[in-house]
């Protein structure tokens, strides 16, 4: 294809996502936007389309960091040494995509090896953060990036500078960019600490309307058949949006936020019990930006409402399994109460602001027509009774690679590390462990006073990665556990263990057995939010194929162990132990279960068994099964 990007204005619906992107384009100090949604919801399309709307930049000629000639507060060290005025030219803002496999050196920069070999002097080689300065940095699947890289991106986005201290180099350069991250929650979540540091977060939901879905297909096919013609047809809408962004940037510094509006922001953030003050600050900045976008120089309560809907949902999630989003009724009540209060003495009335141009979401040009703003209600979260049991000590099977720390899962800081082909570069060693460390090799060669690099001079990068853990939850969903209260307690126990998995960044899998089948409802994943949703809809009833469940769990764990040798493993079995489906017709179902339990124990995979048996007649088979497994044995309270 021609390389044309799908026009931002032609994206159907997704008003909240588009508004958050535009707000960050107007005011990068908001701190970026995280777009969450399932595949096929125009996340990447909208992010790429935004770059075409950013106003052109005046750049110092020859500057590797894209410094502005007139801005003395954001100059790189090289531009500080220049004599001013300097030659400049105009170019579009950079649009930089950060690939999932990018190394830390590629992101933040490193030494220029070519210059070192040429003149023996240390020179800094800029990375992707330098290229993104004054532009847009786009990270697809940001939740799959290593946490230390996400930390680096967010630090640079918040401070507007990138500081490199490594390999004998100390260098600081401007790195003011619009950070746009996209992710599919089914593939894992960001840590809450990282999630909070994104200025805004929106959910890109699917389009329920058949009319909208048909329009999406119509526009996409038209774009693929004639990209240049499609872009040309939307050029007027794109130009109008770009002009509106430039106008908002020009008026932003003059926007006034009255004290009464600041009180409203503080009242909303307090009512929603968000942690820290970042939410208040981001809501303030976003409300001012939205006022500028509407052509006004004073923030209104409606600006605050819209800002709260963009800045608070990802900050008020109190538990990992609570659905993100705001209670819109609560927000409405706060706004209504604010509107009923006597206003303070108001300044003289201003001229009415110009009406904003119509929304161009839902009709092809010319002329595009608008659609009313839509507020997506957060789904309600179904809860289960949490089992009143002691926090269990969960053993794990150690990984096959050498670790640098304990594997005690009861420890708060479990961050054991293993040698890995990818991960953080911790030091350089002489033994071959992976890729050659060029700088360390040159240093060793120089110290040996050799004119050539010898084999003995080679140094290799030692990389360490955190030890991962896979927990397979095998849940008995048969009729022997069909009583509502017992199933609720069992689900509560699993939810508590999932919570621990979330906090320690582990992977989980979910297996349910009933009738004659043991089904893997959720393959290994770090998205415990998805695991909990699958658990909530778990069907019950039928017989108990316990032996088949143990065999399936064993195979699942062994297969995962072969694919990820650095990951430790464990099984959590929720059952009353009353097996009644043998592996072969006419066999002994419980004897088969004991045999499979012995196989699992022989494989070296530790396990936890949570006994759900209750009632006046108890067979205590779960306890016998736990002994055969060598498992940690627990009982649900009141069972």
Residue 132: how many other CB atoms lie within 10 Å: 29
Structure tokens at 471: 């927990």
pLDDT at 319: 54
Residue 67 included in any domain: no
Rounded alpha-carbon distances, angstroms, from residue 142 to 175, 207, 278: 19, 23, 21
Q: What CA–CA distance (Å, rounded) separates 440 from 457?
A: 9
pLDDT band at 369 (very low <50, low <70, confident <90, very high): very low
Q: What CA–CA distance (Å, rounded) separates 14 from 361?
A: 8
Structure tokens at 630: 């060598």
* Residue 187 dihedral angles phi and psi, to the nearest 5°: -95, 10
| pTM, entire model | 0.66
Q: pLDDT at residue 624 above 70? A: yes
Its domain, for residue 434, covers 417-466
- Reported as a single tens digit per residue, the pLDDT across 580-610 is 899 998 899 999 999 999 999 998 888 989 8
Residue 363: how many other CB atoms lie within 10 Å: 15
pLDDT at 289: 95
pLDDT at 397: 46
For the chain, give percent helix, strand, coil, nearest 5: 40, 20, 45
- For the four alpha carbons of 52, 54, 60 and 62, in that order, the dihedral sign comes to negative
Is 487 found in the same domain as 462?
no
pLDDT at 299: 94
- Reported as a single tens digit per residue, the pLDDT across 236-274 is 999 999 999 999 999 999 999 999 999 999 999 988 888
Q: What CA–CA distance (Å, rounded) separates 548 from 588?
A: 13
pLDDT band at 469 (very low <50, low <70, confident <90, very high): confident
- Interval 477-505 mean pLDDT: 64
- Reported as a single tens digit per residue, the pLDDT across 120-144 is 566 778 888 988 888 889 988 888 8
Q: pLDDT at residue 461 above 70? A: yes
Q: What CA–CA distance (Å, rounded) separates 141 from 152?
A: 16
- For the four alpha carbons of 439, 443, 445 and 450, in that order, the dihedral sign comes to positive
Pick 414 or 466 by higher pLDDT. 466
- Reported as a single tens digit per residue, the pLDDT across 204-238 is 877 777 888 898 899 999 999 998 999 999 999 99
Residue 318: helix, strand or coil by DSSP? Answer: coil
Residue 294 included in any domain: no
Alpha helices in 583-620 (DSSP H): 589-602
- Find the catalytic residue in 15, 197, 219, 278: 278
Q: What CA–CA distance (Å, rounded) separates 166 from 437?
A: 13
Q: Is 278 a catalytic residue?
A: yes
pLDDT band at 392 (very low <50, low <70, confident <90, very high): very low
pLDDT band at 165 (very low <50, low <70, confident <90, very high): confident
Q: What CA–CA distance (Å, rounded) separates 104 from 423?
A: 9
pLDDT band at 66 (very low <50, low <70, confident <90, very high): confident
Q: pLDDT at residue 386 above 60? A: no
Residue 405 included in any domain: no
Is 504 found in the same domain as 430?
no
- Interval 314-333 mean pLDDT: 69
Inter-residue contact 23 to 290 (CB < 8 Å): yes
Is 615 found in the same domain as 514?
yes
The residue from 203, 227, 245 where one domain ends is 245
Which H/E stretch holds residue 329? Answer: helix 328-340
Inter-residue contact 25 to 54 (CB < 8 Å): yes
Q: pLDDT at residue 633 above 70? A: yes
Buried b (16+ CB within 10 A) or exposed e, 176-202: bbbbbbbbbbeebbbeeebbbbbbbbb
Is 598 found in the same domain as 449?
no
Q: pLDDT at residue 116 above 90? A: no
- Low-confidence winner among 229-238, 464-473, 550-559 (lowest mean pLDDT): 464-473
pLDDT at 170: 79
Is 19 found in the same domain as 142?
yes
Is 430 found in the same domain as 541?
no
| Nearest CA-CA partner of 469 in 599, 564, 609 | 564
pLDDT at 115: 64
Is 510 found in the same domain as 451?
no
Residue 519: helix, strand or coil by DSSP? Answer: strand
Q: pLDDT at residue 361 above 50? A: no
Residue 334 included in any domain: no
* Residues whose CB falls within 8 Å of the CB of residue 374, separated by 6 or more in sequence, listed in order: 13, 15, 16
Is 484 found in the same domain as 423?
no
Give the DSSP letter string of 121-161. Answer: ---EE--HHHHTTTSEEEETTGGGS-HHHHHHHHHHHHHSE
Residue 379 included in any domain: no
The CA-based dihedral angle spanning residues 260, 266, 271, 274, taken in that order and rounded to the nearest 10 degrees: 160
Match 């009833």 to its residue by tokens.
Answer: 541
Match 């774009």 to its residue by tokens.
Answer: 223
Q: pLDDT at residue 482 above 70? A: no
Please, what is the Cα angle at 68 between 65 and 72, to 5 degrees? 105
Match 């004073």 to its residue by tokens.
Answer: 298
Q: What CA–CA distance (Å, rounded) separates 390 from 496?
A: 11
pLDDT band at 373 (very low <50, low <70, confident <90, very high): very low
Q: pLDDT at residue 287 above 50? A: yes
The residue from 245, 274, 292 where one domain ends is 245
Greatest extent of the chain over all pairs of C-alpha atoms, in Å: 93
- Low-confidence winner among 25-34, 284-293, 342-351, 473-482 (lowest mean pLDDT): 342-351
Q: What CA–CA distance (Å, rounded) separates 37 from 52?
A: 23
pLDDT at 3: 60
Residue 630 included in any domain: yes
- For the four alpha carbons of 437, 443, 446 and 448, in that order, the dihedral sign comes to negative
| Region class of 86: left (phi > 0), else alpha (psi between -120 and 50), else beta | beta
Q: Which of 300-314, 389-403, 524-538 has the highest mean pLDDT?
A: 300-314
Q: pLDDT at residue 304 above 90? A: yes
Inter-residue contact 182 to 139 (CB < 8 Å): yes
Q: pLDDT at residue 291 above 90? A: yes
In sequence order, the β-bridge partners of residue 575 are 611
| Region class of 293: left (phi > 0), else alpha (psi between -120 and 50), else beta | alpha
Question: Regarding beta strands 110-111 and 124-125, do their DSSP bridges make them parallel or antiparallel, or are they unpaired?
Answer: antiparallel
* Residue 174 dihedral angles phi and psi, to the nearest 5°: -65, 140
Q: pLDDT at residue 9 above 70? A: yes
Is 440 found in the same domain as 545?
no
Residue 263 included in any domain: no
- Low-confidence winner among 253-262, 534-543, 547-556, 576-585 (lowest mean pLDDT): 534-543
Q: pLDDT at residue 512 above 80? A: yes
* Residues whose CB falls within 8 Å of the CB of residue 398, separated by 6 or more in sequence, listed in order: 407, 568
Domain count of the chain? 3
Q: Which of 452-461, 512-521, 536-545, 591-600 has the highest mean pLDDT?
A: 591-600
The residue from 245, 279, 302 where one domain ends is 245
Is 575 found in the same domain as 429?
no
Q: What CA–CA distance (Å, rounded) separates 538 from 512?
A: 8
Question: Average pLDDT, whole number, for the chain?
Answer: 77
Is 515 found in the same domain as 495?
yes
In sequence order, the β-bridge partners of residue 162 are 173
Is 563 found in the same domain as 424?
no
CATH classification of the domain holding 150: 3.40.50.300
* Residue 163 dihedral angles phi and psi, to the nearest 5°: -115, 125
- Interval 72-78 mean pLDDT: 81
Q: pLDDT at residue 106 above 80? A: yes
Residue 146: how many other CB atoms lie within 10 Å: 17
CATH classification of the domain holding 557: 3.40.50.410
pLDDT at 568: 79
Match 């124990």 to its residue by tokens.
Answer: 601
Q: How many percent of the chain have pLDDT more than 90?
A: 19
pLDDT at 405: 40
Q: What CA–CA distance (Å, rounded) separates 58 from 264?
A: 39
- Reported as a single tens digit per residue, the pLDDT across 408-460 is 433 333 445 555 555 666 667 777 766 777 667 767 776 666 667 777 777 77
Residue 17 included in any domain: yes
């Amino acid at each position: 294809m021609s390389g044309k990007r799908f026009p931002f204005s032609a994206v159907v619906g997704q008003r909240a996502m588009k508004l958050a992107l535009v707000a960050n384009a107007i005011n990068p100090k908001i701190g970026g936007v995280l777009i969450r949604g399932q595949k096929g919801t125009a996340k990447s399309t909208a992010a790429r389309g935004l770059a075409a709307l950013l106003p052109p930049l005046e750049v110092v000629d020859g500057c590797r960091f894209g410094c502005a000639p007139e801005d003395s507060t954001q100059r790189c060290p090289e531009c500080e040494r220049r004599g001013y005025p300097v030659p400049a030219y105009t170019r579009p803002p950079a649009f930089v995509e950060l690939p999932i496999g990018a190394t830390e050196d590629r992101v933040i920069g490193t030494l220029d090896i070519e210059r070192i070999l040429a003149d023996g002097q240390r020179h800094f080689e800029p990375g992707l953060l330098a290229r993104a300065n004054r532009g847009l940095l786009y990270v697809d699947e940001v939740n799959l990036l290593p946490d230390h890289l996400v930390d680096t991106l967010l630090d640079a986005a918040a401070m507007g500078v990138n500081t490199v201290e490594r390999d004998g180099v100390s260098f600081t350069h401007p790195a003011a960019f619009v950070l746009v991250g996209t992710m599919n929650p089914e593939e894992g979540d960001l840590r809450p600490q990282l999630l909070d540091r994104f200025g805004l977060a929106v959910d890109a939901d699917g389009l329920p309307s058949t009319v909208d879905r048909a329009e999406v297909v119509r526009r996409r096919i038209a774009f693929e058949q004639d990209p240049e013609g499609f872009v040309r047809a939307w050029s007027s809408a794109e130009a109008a949006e770009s002009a509106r962004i430039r106008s908002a940037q020009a008026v932003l510094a003059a926007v006034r936020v009255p004290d009464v509006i600041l009180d409203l922001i503080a009242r909303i953030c307090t009512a929603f019990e968000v942690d820290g003050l970042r939410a208040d600050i981001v809501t303030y900045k976003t409300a001012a930006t939205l006022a500028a976008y509407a052509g006004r120089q004073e923030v209104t309560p409606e600006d605050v409402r819209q800002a709260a809907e963009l800045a608070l949902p990802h900050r008020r999630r109190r538990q990992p399994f609570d659905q993100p989003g705001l209670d819109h009724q609560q927000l409405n009540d706060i706004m209504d109460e604010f509107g009923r209060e006597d206003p303070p003495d108001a300044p003289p009335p201003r001229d009415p602001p110009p009406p904003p141009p119509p929304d161009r979401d839902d009709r092809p040009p010319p002329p595009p027509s608008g659609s009313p703003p839509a507020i997506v209600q957060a789904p309600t979260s179904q809860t289960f009774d949490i089992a009143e049991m002691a926090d269990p000590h969960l053993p794990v099977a150690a990984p096959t690679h050498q670790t640098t720390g304990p594997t005690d899962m009861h420890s708060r800081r479990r961050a054991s590390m293993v040698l890995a082909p990818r991960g953080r570069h911790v030091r350089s060693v002489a033994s071959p462990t992976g890729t050659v460390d060029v700088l360390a090799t040159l240093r060793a060669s120089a110290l040996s006073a050799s004119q050539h690099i010898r084999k003995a001079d080679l140094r290799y990068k030692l990389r360490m990665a955190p030890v991962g853990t896979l927990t397979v939850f095998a849940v008995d969903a048969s009729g022997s556990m069909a009583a509502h209260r017992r199933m609720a307690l069992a689900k509560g126990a699993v939810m508590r263990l999932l919570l621990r998995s979330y906090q320690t960044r582990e992977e989980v899998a979910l297996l349910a057995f009933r009738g004659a089948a043991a089904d893997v409802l959720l393959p290994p994943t770090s998205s415990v939010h998805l695991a909990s949703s699958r658990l909530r809809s778990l069907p019950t009833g039928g017989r108990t194929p316990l032996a088949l469940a143990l065999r399936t769990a064993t195979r699942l764990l062994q297969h995962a162990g072969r694919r990820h040798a650095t990951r430790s493993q464990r099984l959590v079995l929720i059952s009353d132990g009353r097996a009644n489906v043998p592996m072969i017709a006419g066999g002994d179902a419980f004897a088969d279960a004991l045999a499979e339990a012995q196989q699992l124990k022989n494989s070296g995979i530790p396990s936890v068994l949570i006994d759900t048996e209750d009632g006046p007649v108890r067979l205590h088979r779960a306890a016998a099964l736990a002994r055969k497994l060598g498992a940690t044995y627990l009982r649900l309270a009141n069972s």
